[in-house]
Amino acid sequence: MSNQKDIDRRTFLELGVQGTIGLGLSAIPLISISGCAGNNTQTVHGACYHDCPDRCSWKVTTLNNEIQEFQASSDNPFTAGKLCTKMVNFPNDVTFHPDRVLTPLKRVGKKGEGKFEPLSWETALSEVSSKLSSIISRKGGEAILPYSFGGNQGLVQGKAFPNRFFAHIGASQLERTICGDTAVAGVMATNGQTTGVLPEDIIYSQYIILWGTNPVLSNQHLWPFIQQAKSKGAKIVVIDPFQSQTAVEADWHIQPLPGTDTALALGMMNVILSENLQDQDYIDQYTLGIQELTEHVQKYSPKEVAKITGLKEQTIFTLAREYAKAAPTLIRVLIGMEHQANGGSAFRAIAMLPALTGAWRELGGGLMHMTYELFGQALNWDKINLPAPIAKPSTRSINMIQLGQALTDTVLEPPIEALFVFNSNPVVTTPNQNLIIQGLEREDLLTVVLEHFVTDTARYADYVFPATSVLENWDILTSWGTPYLNINQPAIKPIGEAKPNTEFFRLLAQEMGFKEEYLYEPDIDIVKSVLDSEHEYLQGITFESLKKTGWARLNIPAKWIPHAEGNFNTPSGKCQLYNPDIEPALPGYTPVKYSAEELATYPFHLLTIKSTRNFLNSSHANLDYLIEKEGNPVVDISEQDAEIKGIKDGDQVKVFNQRGEVILKARIRKKVRQGVVCLPQGFWPSLTKGGSSANALTDDMLTDMGGGAAIQEARVDILKI
């Protein structure tokens, strides 16, 4: 029996030229067909593989390898028989889409043109193997860089095999920190863990702060539980510099200036402690550092915080008083707030608030963040983590956020000579877009992409290999937002010549002559091994039981109140209001310093957010009917700023800075404050006017903790054209 272990957020997260498609669905939308039962009819279970806290469960019914029905699992109480709007038509949108890549492709045009010719798997693997072997012999394995993230969060397809292959050849390691690591680092510094209130328990809350999160769009299955709490009298407060759809639906929208959340949280503490609104008994028993914190927050009076955040003093007083006096109170955070220079400090400070007020004492009270640690304890990770012979790679690490720098660095030794991209589309999703493109244009860079479509990143590839969709491969899927575990069973055989990520790396290892057994383990064996655990959370959950139901809730207590009596995962077991092991020992607000010239040249603070209804990051953003449904991207600007710049609603404008420019139309609403403009993330540059999208403007600077992306710290100007 293998040992179980906790896993950190970074480890957890690492996780068409052919003519017609012979198998598929007849039309959009998908039509459920009844009365087709027969000897070849089967129903299998699966789950969404995207980077989303909901992790929808579904089931697929097929007849003779053709999909008859694709629908959400009605048994899963969180999915509750409904898929999100982005995934409801997934088979047509991805698996059977006529533009899907179904054979290996080799570049025949210039990099970026997207011109390819088909070739056989044998030839493509032989050529890639030969080129890799040459690079390794000349420069060593560190000259090779894998690049992947949350495009597929399956433990098998997203993590196990790719990690084995690249560790085996001694490739550079990728710091996968673009999303989540900063938030986790901040909460961990305070609580020693991220798992707090579970999502379904929000129904017991009476005062809910949705801080920097937009569940109406990005956490759709949580929203009904929030509405249920509201129907029972809960007040819903949204803190967000952008007027999201959730903010519109809330009872109160508080709109601070971008990047000032740390100051707001510290200002709330100032009021709570100054007015003796704290739960002193909880503080005395279950926290450390109250004296240091009390002295520290004196610098963050409502008057000073109002200057920093742009809020009225009374707003800060009212928020702090309402939060401290209500019960149970809950703060919901995800990752949106982390993408600022003070991102880690913001999460660190916010995580202190439930301990100050004793909110942790009650069901539905405390902080709701992530749940991945539950699976870190429950599952057998020996088959996912690196095998013993390669378990501790000593090669260099490169932060994924600074991919453009890594590809264009002329003094990096050895230089990056080969880039493997899978489960990711960095040209769209990674900061400093134009620098990344500059690196991808290098003729001496071998770029290999595993994909469903010729994405904006794949357009620069030397080779594109067809990857299976989630309907065509085995996997096991945990969740970072719920306590539900999912199995994914292939519903159909792979279309065309598509192969799972795992099979690609097995075949490449074979072509390169590697003999190690850990490079060839079958996918289904890994799925079974992960479930081979005696941990109490997994009791009664087996491979066979998951095949029958598709999902299972971990066996955690129905009444989950993790910190009613402390029990924080810190050395002392207490909430660390002051942490001497971290520099600084207390969270503080440190503004990004810009010169007077920079502020005059680029007077607007840029927000780039996940506000699209039909795309998930960059996924599905290439589908014509969804592009039409979503509409063209717009830049939100305040009425005051629009008047100053001579811009009217619907005018075509240029948003620009020293890194690039984006052409789009202006939308004048009350979405942003004066001095702030906002662009949506997810649109592909190749499909937008001007050939650029939001990340052409973002900076690749890092956050204060966790090595995350401070993409919300960019400054721009905007002009009517």
Q: What DSSP line would sit under 549-604, residue for residue?
A: HSEEE----SS--TTTT---SSTTSSEESS-TTSSSSS----PPP--HHHHHHS-E
CA 126 to chain centroid: 34
| Cβ–Cβ under 8 Å, residues 260 and 268 | no
Do 215 and 297 have their domain in common? Answer: yes
In a domain? residue 137: yes
CA nearest 605: which of 401, 253, 335, 310?
310
Domain termination residue (choose one: 369, 394, 415): 369
Task: Look up the CATH number of the domain holding residue 610.
Answer: 2.40.40.20
Residues 6+ apart with CB under 8 A from 481: 52, 53, 54, 55, 199, 219, 222, 334, 370, 371
Q: What is the pLDDT of residues 546-597, one digit of tens each?
A: 999 999 999 999 899 999 999 999 999 999 999 999 999 999 999 999 999 9
Which one is predicted more confidently, 661 or 25? 661
Q: What is the pLDDT of residues 154-181, one digit of tens each?
A: 999 998 889 999 999 999 999 999 999 9
Do 356 and 397 have their domain in common? Answer: no
Instruction: 314-318: list long-range contacts, CB under 8 Å, 24+ apart.
Output: 315/254, 316/264, 316/267, 316/268, 316/271, 317/271
Q: What is the pLDDT of residues 518-558, one digit of tens each?
A: 999 999 999 999 999 999 999 999 999 999 999 999 999 98
Do 230 and 279 have their domain in common? Answer: yes
Q: Please say if the pLDDT value at position 9 is more than 90.
A: no
In a domain? residue 490: no
> Which strand ranges, in their side-by-side order, compose the sheet holding 484-488?
475-477, 484-488, 551-553
Given its phi and psi angles, is residue 119 left (phi above 0), alpha (psi -120 to 50 degrees) or beta? beta
Do 236 and 362 have their domain in common? Answer: yes
Q: Please say if the pLDDT value at position 601 is more than 60.
A: yes
Do 231 and 315 have their domain in common? Answer: yes
SS3 286: helix
Task: Look up the CATH number of the domain holding residue 245.
Answer: 3.40.228.10
Over residues 600-609, mean pLDDT: 97
Task: From residue 536, give the alpha-carbon distance in Å to each of 4, 171, 374, 539.
Answer: 11, 37, 11, 5
The pair of three-digit structure tokens given for residue 524, joined into one six-digit string: 């289904």
Residues 6+ apart with CB under 8 A from 388: none
In a domain? residue 634: yes
Q: What is the pLDDT of residues 419-463, one digit of tens each?
A: 999 999 999 999 999 999 999 999 999 999 999 999 999 999 999
Do 449 and 318 have their domain in common? Answer: no
In a domain? residue 570: no
Residue 397 CB burial class (10 angstroms; 0-12, 13-18, ≥19): exposed
What pLDDT was estimated at residue 426?
A: 98
DSSP 153-205: --TIIIIIHHHHHHHHTTPPEEE--SSSHHHHHHHHHHHS----S-GGGGGG-
Pairwise CA distance, residues 638 & 649, whole Å: 10
What pLDDT was estimated at residue 39?
A: 63
> Which strand ranges, in their side-by-side order, compose the sheet holding 207-211?
252-254, 235-239, 207-211, 329-332, 366-368
What pLDDT was estimated at residue 85?
A: 87
Pairwise CA distance, residues 613 & 611, whole Å: 6
Look at the block and give the residue holding tokens 């914190």.
293
Do 222 and 135 have their domain in common? Answer: no
In a domain? residue 69: no
Task: Look up the CATH number of the domain holding residue 136.
Answer: 3.40.50.740
SS3 397: strand
| Cβ–Cβ under 8 Å, residues 575 and 355 | yes
Q: Total structural domains in the chain?
A: 3
Dihedral, 105, 111, 112, 114 alpha carbons, nearest 10:
-30
Domain termination residue (choose one: 338, 369, 400): 369
Q: Please say if the pLDDT value at position 15 is more than 80.
A: no
The amino acid sitting at 28 is: I
In a domain? residue 219: yes
Over residues 278-285, mean pLDDT: 98
Do 236 and 354 have their domain in common? Answer: yes
Q: What is the mean pLDDT of the chain?
A: 93
Do 352 and 396 have their domain in common? Answer: no
Pairwise CA distance, residues 57 & 77, whole Å: 10
Which one is predicted more confidently, 555 or 39? 555
The amino acid sitting at 74 is: S
Percentage of residues in the chain having pLDDT higher than 70: 95
Pairwise CA distance, residues 120 & 126, whole Å: 10
CA nearest 146: which of 434, 470, 512, 403?
403
The pair of three-digit structure tokens given for residue 368, joined into one six-digit string: 């709701």
What pLDDT was estimated at residue 589?
A: 98
In a domain? residue 432: yes
Its domain, for residue 648, covers 596-720
State residue 368 phi and psi, 5-degree precision.
-105, 120
In a domain? residue 135: yes
Do 345 and 235 have their domain in common? Answer: yes
Cα Rg of the chain, angstroms: 25
Do 459 and 404 have their domain in common? Answer: yes
Do 342 and 435 have their domain in common? Answer: no
State residue 153 phi and psi, 5-degree precision.
-95, 15
What pLDDT was estimated at residue 159?
A: 84
CA nearest 708: which of 10, 149, 211, 180?
180
Q: What is the pLDDT of residues 196-240, one digit of tens each?
A: 999 999 999 999 999 999 999 999 999 999 999 999 999 999 999
Over residues 346-353, mean pLDDT: 98
Look at the chain and count its residues: 721
Residues β-bridged to residue 717: 656
The pair of three-digit structure tokens given for residue 394, joined into one six-digit string: 């000593």
**Beta strands 418-422; 144-147: pairing state:** parallel
Residues 6+ apart with CB under 8 A from 182: 335, 338, 339, 343, 344, 347, 703, 704, 705, 706, 707, 708
DSSP 489-514: ---SPPSTT-B-HHHHHHHHHHHTT-
Domain termination residue (choose one: 347, 369, 391): 369
Residue 139 DSSP class? H
Pairwise CA distance, residues 78 & 550, whole Å: 13
Helix (H) or strand (E) holding 624: helix 624-630
